[in-house]
Structure 1
Amino acid sequence: MTSTTVAEYMIKDVVSVSPDMTVAEVSEKMIDSNFHGFPITERGYLLGFVTAKELLRFHDQRDAKMRAVMKRGTICCNPEMSIDDAVRVLFRYGIRNLPVVDSDKKLVGIISNIDIVRSQIEKSRPAKVMSVKSFLEQQNGIRMKIVT
């Protein structure tokens, strides 16, 4: 039996930002898109990841380029990683999104905790669904409704 992989559930059409964009430009893009963060890429290569919380730290440096303020060493995975391992990474590091890169470190997708929930629901029984729901509600401080 083969395990479910990240490639099966990742979003392939990823919205990213350039390292040459300013804090103000990325903030506006985030507001307009309703995303909580963006991968930072250059020529398709993953350089970093920026979240709304990180942008708030630089609210007084609106003209600063992302290249100057971004964190390096982004946690990422490859498409062949199992969903179970991706769950461990997301929850261990308390992150919502996990960029997916190929062997050349080019961004090929992103998997979020919502994608993980979808993968678990599709292969789960009701008790497991409720367990995952409860965990996510506690982890993210939200209320979820399961629609059947």
Structure 2
Amino acid sequence: MDKKRVRDYMTADVDTINMNQTARDVINAIKVTSHDGFPIVDRNVVIGYISARDLLFAHPDTPVREIMSQHLIVADPEMAIGDVARVIIRSGIQKLPVVNEKNELLGIISNTDVVRSQIEHVSPDKVYKLMDTIERLHGIKPHLSKGPVMVSTLLPTQSRIYMDELEGRIYEIKKGLAEPVIVIKKPDQNILVDGHHRAVAAKRLGIKILEAYLIEIAEDFELGLERTARAMKLRTVDDIQIMDYARHPLVAGTHRFGGAIVVGEPIKNREKED
């Protein structure tokens, strides 16, 4: 997590407010952008921040400079994502302006950006555990390499993915931050084990090649993953179903009881999402 930097995940195109504008201007900006707050700048130098909360008791004609917050917590572009996460958790602030040494605005990073940086993280342990499982089950020694793989050749082993996570993968690919997918490479088949959101994101963006951890098997026999794919009628990435956020298991696992939201029992026998 600490290897990822603010500059990699911040939004560079930031909507701002001038200190000479009024509370009414900020209200209109919130309506147009749906943002809940804005950095206040003077010649691109950050001098304050105004949020929807600051407007609660302000007259619409009140100048922004009279109600903006001047005591700011800001982020440096080279700051580690892990440090940003700690600041956000401890301060309760949802967004941090990103500035340079002259306090000039470079971007903004939010709690959503921090979460997005961590979803679908590939660890070496995941790869080696899979290799160990193959060796124990089939008595063969797979070979590990890293290289490009054609998205069109991938056999998916997961029937559905979720739109919110897909949007995160699209964002990362556009920024050049997507981690490699995990593929079992057989003589006649590339089996996608981990990275279904990334594969679909690449397909949507018209990207034909992804970087992959390739677990190579020289022997040609059918794996259980291939039987699973066949049972789910999966042949290409196009066969993966995209679920909307409301049907995500983290949302579907709750139910209403007596007017309150109650966490339900864990969803069992559900295929793993990556």
Asked whether the two chains share a fold, i.e. TM above 0.5, the reply is yes
What's the counterpart of residue 18 of structure 1? Answer: 18
Of 98, 101, 116, the residue aligned with 1:100 is 98
The 3-state SS of whatever aligns with 2:72 is coil
Instruction: Tell me the distance in 2 between the aligned counterparts of 1:9 and 1:40.
Output: 21
Instruction: Tell me the distance in 1 between the aligned counterparts of 2:121 and 2:108.
Output: 21
What's the counterpart of residue 129 of structure 2? Answer: none
AA in 1 matched with 2:105: L
AA in 2 matched with 1:43: R
Structure 1 residue 144 displacement after superposition:
9.6
Residue by residue over 1:120-146, the C-alpha shift from the partner in whole angstroms, topping out at 9 and shown as x without a partner, is 114267xxxxxxxxxxxxxxxxx9947
**Percent same amino acid among aligned pairs?**
37
The 3-state SS of whatever aligns with 2:73 is coil
Residue by residue over 1:59-79, the C-alpha shift from the partner in whole angstroms, topping out at 9 and shown as x without a partner, is xx2111111111212110100
Instruction: Tell me the distance in 2 between the aligned counterparts of 1:62 and 1:42.
Output: 21
Instruction: Tell me the distance in 2 between the aligned counterparts of 1:36 and 1:107.
Output: 18
- Aligned runs of 1:60-139 on 2, under 5 Å? 61-123=59-121
- Aligned runs of 1:27-38 on 2, under 5 Å? 27-38=27-38
The answer to whether the 8 Å contact 2:99/2:105 transfers is: yes
The 3-state SS of whatever aligns with 1:28 is helix
Q: Per residue, is there more strand in 1 or in 2?
A: 2
Instruction: Tell me the distance in 2 between the aligned counterparts of 1:94 and 1:19.
Output: 24
The answer to whether the 8 Å contact 2:95/2:108 transfers is: yes
Structure 1 residue 57 displacement after superposition:
2.8
Instruction: Tell me the distance in 2 between the aligned counterparts of 1:21 and 1:31.
Output: 16
Q: Per residue, is there more helix in 1 or in 2?
A: 1
Instruction: Tell me the distance in 1 between the aligned counterparts of 2:107 and 2:120.
Output: 20
Instruction: Tell me the distance in 2 between the aligned counterparts of 1:80 and 1:25.
Output: 33
> Please, what TM-score do these two structures have when normalized by structure 1?
0.80
Measured on the aligned residues, the alpha-carbon RMSD in Å equals 2.3
Instruction: Tell me the distance in 1 between the aligned counterparts of 2:18 and 2:111.
Output: 24
Larger CA Rg, structure 1 vs 2: 2
What's the counterpart of residue 39 of structure 2? Answer: 39
Alignment gaps of 5+ in structure 1: 126-142
Instruction: Tell me the distance in 2 between the aligned counterparts of 1:96 and 1:22.
Output: 23
